[in-house]
Amino acid sequence: MSQQQLDNRGLQPPEPMVRILAALASLENGSELAVLMDREPFLLYPELERRGFEWDFVEQAEDFLLTIRHAS
């Protein structure tokens, strides 16, 4: 499984969401998008679900990690 990475720390809304959705447009089946975030992107979740993705959101020491993949 390959993984793309995106660093959205320090960005103001809606830029993190725009960048994530743009990256997902080219995400291949079986790949993941790992995104470093400053906050949990609650408004993104319905859009991910609508587009057929699933995700994990984990709090780390100084930031958050959002991992997105195609739903199985």
All domains in the chain, ordered by first residue: 3-70 (3.30.110.40)
Q: Is the pTM of this model over 0.85?
A: yes
Phi, psi of 7 (to 5 degrees): -110, 105
Token representation of residue 58: 């984990």
Q: How far are the Cα atoms of 32, 57, 60, 71 from residue 35, in angstroms, in the given order?
A: 10, 9, 12, 17
Q: What is the pLDDT along the chain (72 residues), one digit of tens a residue?
A: 799 999 999 999 999 999 999 999 999 999 999 999 999 999 999 999 999 999 999 999 999 999 999 998
Q: What is the pLDDT of residue 61?
A: 92
Q: What is the pLDDT of residue 52?
A: 97
DSSP, collapsed to helix, strand or coil, labels residue 15 as helix
Question: What sign does the dihedral 63-35-72-31 (CA atoms) show?
Answer: negative
Q: What is the pLDDT of residue 72?
A: 85
Q: What is the pLDDT of residue 27?
A: 96
